[in-house]
Amino acid sequence: MTAWLIRPITPADIPALFVVRVATHENAMTLEELARLGITPVTVAEMLGQTHAGWLCEDAGRVVGFAMGNRATGEMWVIALLPHYVGRGIGSRLLRAVEGWLAEHGWTRIWLTTDPDTSLRAYTFYRQHGWVDDRLEGGDRYMVKHLGA
């Protein structure tokens, strides 16, 4: 079995995060689309220094997936994997890292947005990890998870 390295994201990792993010199959976005949403290497670096933290997975030194959360809002902000690495348990490990970090920052109810299409793999993934539907709004599905006992 491959021993993937899961570690905290550093500013030096940001270019590799964008390579992974634009290569995803579900919720695929181009660099231009991300920039229109205000998501650029510069803004991600600023967020990492203030409100956000994340973890990545490396395989032989190559970033193959990552996840980030926002401690100011309790949001599970993003999770992305290269398509070849989906279904191998990496996403689960990254999700747990962010959920644990948000819990350490006092959040007992965390949230995320995802595609409203329940046939997509992401929806099933979140449901399997204890996330439940909250609402549909603005073209997004909001899901929540209660942390702790």
pLDDT of 149 reads 55
Q: Using CA atoms, how far apart are residues 75 and 141, in angstroms rounded to an integer?
A: 13
Cα→Cα distances 112→15, 58, 60, 72, 140, Å: 24, 24, 30, 13, 10
Tens of pLDDT, residue by residue over 76-103, are 999 999 999 999 999 999 999 999 999 9
Helix axes 14-23, 41-48, angle to 10 degrees: 120
CA distance 97 to 136: 26
User: What's the whole-number average pLDDT of the chain?
Assistant: 93
Partners of residue 69 on adjacent β-strands: 53, 76
- pLDDT (average), residues 49-56: 95
Q: So what's the pLDDT on residue 26?
A: 75
pLDDT for 17 equals 95
What's the token pair of residue 115? 């595609």
